[in-house]
Amino acid sequence: MWSVFSYLFPAREQPQRRTYATNNPPLLPTIDQQFHPKLRVVMKQLDSIAPRFPMKRGDIEILNRPDQFYSTLKAKIASAKSRIFLSSLYVGKTQTELIQCLDDALAASADLKVYILIDALRGTREAPDNVCSASLLTPLVAKFGKHRVDVRMYHTPNLAGMSKAITPKRFNETYGLQHMKLYGFDNEIMLSGANLSHDYFTDRQDRYYVFRSSRLTDYYYKIQEAISSISYQVLPSQKLKQGFRLTWPTSNASCEPHMNIGRFISDTSYMLDPLLKQQQLSSFDEFDDTDDYDTLVYPVSQFTPLFPKMIDNSTEKPAVLRLLSYLDTSSIKWWFTAGYFNMLPEIQDRLINGKSAGSVITASPKANSFYKSSGVSYYVPEAYLLFAKKFLEEVARIGKSSMITVFEWQRGVVNTLGGWSYHAKGMWLTAPDEEVPSITVVGSSNYTKRAYSLDLESNAIIITKDEVLKQQMKDEITNLMTYAKKLELTDFQPKPKQKKQELESSTPDTKTNPHVDVSENAIQAIDTVATMDDDSVHLVNKDDDVVYEVDEDRKISYGVQLALKLLGGRF
């Protein structure tokens, strides 16, 4: 009875509690004063949220192309001597070359250990009948042993019981995923939004930052290690058709989530809370020997599914929102990009309602990996196009169209010869009165409601006064803008397509398409005739005999609009 009462009369949600307790030592005054005063304010705010790592010129390298990402990945694997740790959503099922590269590295160095963390739902999707991430990695475990190759698969605690039993594969991933992209090699760490599969190595544009810092690399290793300790371990199995089994080691930090979700969340939050906020310091004077640093890196992560609902101590969302509060002056410029454009409302509000001018770069429908795909996913590009349209409408509504611009990225047509897809995500901000960025955010997050409620994300906020790095960040934007074209609300309006005579010669059969009315009587009755199906508008103007039609890649069906009202937060 009490559960029924609670359902009918739910308790009012209490404000979410947040606590911050970092152990960042004070910045040296001589260095602190060299940053712009506005940047110093941001740095102090971030100091209260996330651990801070100082760096010097040359410690950060920015890659701009997927082939650079892949060649760097292979080179770092080949030269690693003590550890390789890789966190990704999945490993592509055709990545035999990457697996061989790991095999060769393990054979070349007896001290080398490999740690891999991927998502359990995505990593076993094709099993047991076809190759999947788990079956691809299992031979490494069989050859070198689990003490040298530790393959883990994170399973969201949100999917269990009846929901798991009835939810089809592909759709079960909407409950949450391991979405971090951490690629570590000895004392270097590469952050990206790219997964470990062929398209990300060849024709899928993303972002890639290499950090040469043992301390920062150790920190991200501990992040992966923590999530691995609450994940399944992949071991070979000769009894199962798929060739592997998932086990829950007794050494894990908690029980399996479906066994006791309350205990699981309690254990994970207890483990993650200090890790997200602090780094290991021998003393508060530890940074004295780095008084020539010019760049600060703040690792931030979003682990919402692993915290109690009202006590989410994830660091990414509060850090990003604090960062965007910096857009309070017109002398600052910003750029935001996401391949899957569906901004968290709080982020959109900060960008739109700030005083700064900025640009958004997102994927054209023809650069969306789901373009012309089969099944329900066919409509995914339309969904993100609708989000972009709504964003433009809101910008126009508040009179900011001259300040905020949306660009669509397109390089050929995806899934055709020479066609690329777009997966870059992040943001850049300048110091006041500058043209090149001083701040960027890079990592796995798509900055959506889903990223801040269902998935595991890890990112870095970089603040620099190094002119070389600032120019490299600007070059990164320029590289992305090479294939970007301005998107405007007028692009969604019907445009002239063909003459009336051409239309009449190819008049559709109204018996098979009753939505279309092109009869002579109808044309004579009114000057303009509009006919509408669920995803397009056709206008015939009597005076100039021209047909007006919405461009194919600007059509948004009513079904997509309805679906987004129901499922918008899961995109």
**Dist. CA 145–CA 139, nearest whole Å:** 9
563 φ/ψ angles, rounded to the nearest 5 degrees: -60, -40
> At a CB cut-off of 8 Å and minimum separation 6, what does 372 contact?
378, 415
Concatenate the DSSP letters of all residues of 312-380 into one string.
---SHHHHHHHHHTT--STT-EEEEEESS----HHHHHHHHHSSSEEEEEEE-GGGSTTTT-SGGGGGH
Query: DSSP string covering 157-190, please?
Result: TT--HHHHHHSPTTGGGGG--B---EEEETTEEE
DSSP label of 230: T
- Torsion angles phi and psi, residue 557, rounded to 5: -75, 155
Closest CA to 437 of 337, 322, 300, 345: 337
Which residues form the catalytic set?
Answer: 179, 181, 186
Tokens representing 391 are: 């964003």
**Burial of 114 per CB tally in 10 Å (0-12, 13-18, 19+):** buried
Strand segments (E) across 198-328: 204-205, 208-212, 232-236, 244-247, 295-302
Q: Tell me the C-alpha distance between 24 and 286, whole Å.
A: 10
- Degrees (nearest 5) of the Cα angle 243, 255, 119? 45
For residues 567 and 173, give the distance between their C-alpha atoms in angstroms, rounded to a whole number.
13
Contact 371, 549 (CB under 8 A): no
Q: What is the Cα–Cα distance from 328 to 340, expressed in whole angstroms?
A: 26
Task: At 302, list the tokens.
Answer: 């979003």
* Total Cβ atoms within 10 A of residue 80: 24
Selection from 513, 492, 508 nearest residue 555 by Cα: 492
Task: Give whole-number Cα distances, 361 to 332, 337, 381, 436, 462, in Å.
Answer: 18, 5, 15, 17, 20
> b/e map of 302-332 (b: 16 or more CB within 10 Å)?
bbbbbbeeeebbbbbbbbbebbbebbeeeeb
